[in-house]
Amino acid sequence: MASDNLFGNIISHSKEYGYIFQSSEIYDGLSAVYDYGQYGAQLKKNIRDFWWKSMTQLHENIVGIDAAIFMHPTTWKASGHVDNFSDPMIDNKDSKKRYRVDHLIETYAETLAEPEAAALIAKMEQLLAADNFAGIKQLIDENKIKCSVSGTANWTDVRQFNLMFSTEFGAVSSDNPEDNIVYLRPETAQGIFVNFLNVQKSGRMKIPFGIAQTGKAFRNEIVARQFIFRMREFEQMEMQFFVRPGTELDWYAYWKETRMKWHQELGLPADKLRFHDHTKLAHYANAAVDVEYNFPFGWKELEGIHSRTDYDLRRHQEFSKKKMQYFDTEINQNYIPYVVETSVGLDRLFLTILSNSYHEEQVPTAEEGKMDTRTVLRIPAKVAPVKLAVLPLVKKEGLPEIAKELVNDCRLSFHCQYDEKDSIGKRYRRQDAIGTPFCVTVDHQTKEDGMVTIRNRDTLIQERIPVSSVKDFVNKSVA
């Protein structure tokens, strides 16, 4: 299946089976904003919980917080977002459409043969790394790259555009409107940094230690593309690990490998994951790498691991006039800790799991010699939104009662679903499309021997087990 068709099918499947809907769809939607449906919300929660447990429960020196979305505006001056959180943009003079220049050039490169495309991307990255906006404009002009709306190459100069959303805070008017301006946070990290001392002192934390957080962030992306890969409202899962200066690159290497293993533990195949070192480091970093996944639309960033030095704490100390230092009893010294960050987008990870799980395959039908297409989401059982579907073979003879009793017995342990509508084959297909790893069929024989048939979504193997063993069977399989 072609990549474009595959991705289109994933998007369609997500809506049809209650994973993702266009936000405000009845009003024609809002660009790059999406709602999570009944199964999507549960999958998202399961992924978030899996990350949270791995960080805060399985590491004795990492704790979690939940900082507010609104922060004092000076926070973003100190962090550098007011001055530096921007992307190079270009406008088409005829259509008035604005593009991020890297997206514009990347889209054009997709129309070229591989050697030419690679050379163009490499040239673009070199110019961006040097902040050579005139060179970028020349590159666009030389390649006669056109606007997708107007079809013309009538471009403005390249310039920076700040990505933060601003809003007014409070109802009291002021002579200076800027007095009431606050920003929707563009990342969750700063909520951790400003609470560094609060957590360290109240938790009696000793370096090295980490602070984790999940939550919404907001970026005014001009060109948001690839479904939920790049949105204006999204969720991050970040952990800032505070270390002694001089040890940060060792911890950077540790977290680099640890996070790659974590993605594989989640069920992502090693051959679809890779590291990509940054060619241009952010103003706060002395080392940075991305974990990339091979999406249907190519290799793209899934998670960033950054050695942020002491930039953030030092800047907050400078702007707040409050000391952001730690006294290390082992070396009898005060210092501002260095930080290693792991930052993964929850929505991107959600899309990664959907992309990796979606399969269309040919399976034999009951009619000899004929095949049927089975669409299945092979979502890892540990994060699947529904773990078990219980299906009475018929809607009579006491079978629904047995099935509902089993559902009630399992409900406190994991999400399960009762389904009695349509033939058993159609119900299997429906659960395959939802991504349910196990289906149990209650049949006439169940009334006699207390046994049910449990079916594995991925292998299609069916086996008879006691109805009393179903809950333990599923619990062990999804652990």
For the cut 60, the answer to whether the pLDDT of residue 172 exceeds it is no
Helix or strand or coil: residue 96? Answer: coil
pLDDT at residue 210, as a whole number: 98
Specify the pLDDT at position 174.
56
Query: pLDDT digits over 233-262, tens only?
Result: 999 999 999 999 999 999 999 999 999 999
Q: Are residues 391 and 344 in the same domain?
A: no
- Asked if the structure places residue 267 within a domain, the reply is yes
The mean pLDDT of 131-136, rounded to a whole number, is 91
Q: Which of 370, 401, 431 is the last residue of a domain?
A: 370
User: In this structure, are residues 416 and 407 in contact, taking their beta carbons and an 8 Å threshold?
Assistant: yes
Has residue 146 been placed in a domain? no
**pLDDT band (50, 70, 90) for residue 100:** confident
Between 81 and 157, the higher pLDDT residue: 157
Work out the angle at residue 146's Cα, subtended by the Cα atoms of residues 141 and 147, and round it to the nearest 5 degrees: 130
Looking at the structure, do residues 468 and 335 belong to the same domain, yes or no? no
Asked whether residue 104 is domain-assigned, the answer is no
pLDDT tens per residue across span 363-396: 777 677 788 888 999 999 999 999 999 999 998 8
Q: Residue 150 in 3-state DSSP?
A: coil
Structure-block tokens of residue 380? 């890892």
Q: Report yes or no: 291 and 263 within 8 Å, Cβ to Cβ.
A: yes
> Do 322 and 420 sit in the same domain of this protein?
no
Q: Which residues contact 478 (CB under 8 A, 6 or more apart)?
A: 381, 382, 384, 387, 414, 437
Examine the pLDDT at 1 and tell me if it is beyond 60: no
Average pLDDT over residues 78-87: 81
Rounded mean pLDDT, 207-232: 89
**Which residue, among 316, 57, 344, has the nearest Cα to 210 in the 3D structure?**
57
- Does residue 273 sit in the same domain as residue 358? yes
pLDDT (0 to 100) of residue 326: 97
Let me know whether 327 and 400 are in one domain: no
Q: Identify whether 381 is part of a domain.
A: no
Q: For the chain, how many structural domains are there in total?
A: 2
| The domain boundary residue, chosen from 370, 396, 429 | 370
- 398 and 349 belong to one structural domain: no
* CB within 8 Å of 84: residues ≥ 6 apart: 283
Contacts 24+ apart (CB under 8 A), 35-38: 38/385
Q: Which residues contact 80 (CB under 8 A, 6 or more apart)?
A: 283, 284, 315
**Mean pLDDT of the region 195-209:** 97
332 plus 406 within the same structural domain: no
Please report, for the domain that includes residue 390, its CATH number.
Answer: 3.40.50.800
398 and 350 assigned to the same domain: no
Share of the chain above pLDDT 90, in %: 79
Distance between CA 479 and CA 387 in Å, rounded?
11
- What is the pLDDT, as a whole number, of residue 409? 94
Domain of residue 430, residue span? 386-478
Q: Are residues 297 and 344 in the same domain?
A: yes
Q: What is the CATH number of the domain that holds 60?
A: 3.30.930.10
Q: Among 82, 88, 83, 163, which Cα is nearest to 132's?
A: 88
Cα–Cα distance measured from residue 16 to residue 353, given in angstroms and rounded to the nearest whole number? 17
Inside any domain, residue 286: yes
Structure confidence by residue, pLDDT tens digits, 156-166: 999 888 788 88
Higher-scoring residue by pLDDT: 172, 282: 282
Q: Is the pLDDT reported for residue 171 higher than 70?
A: no
Closest by CA position to 473, among listed 437, 447, 424:
437
Q: What is the pLDDT of residue 368?
A: 73
Mean pLDDT of the chain: 92
Q: Which residue has the tokens 């950054």?
A: 306
Contact between residue 272 and residue 201 where contact means Cβ atoms under 8 Å apart? no
Note the pTM of the prediction, 2 decimals: 0.86
Q: Would you give the DSSP letter of residue 177? A: G
Q: Do 217 and 316 fall within a single domain?
A: yes
User: Are residue 314 and residue 428 in the same domain, yes or no?
Assistant: no
Q: Do residues 361 and 393 share a domain?
A: no
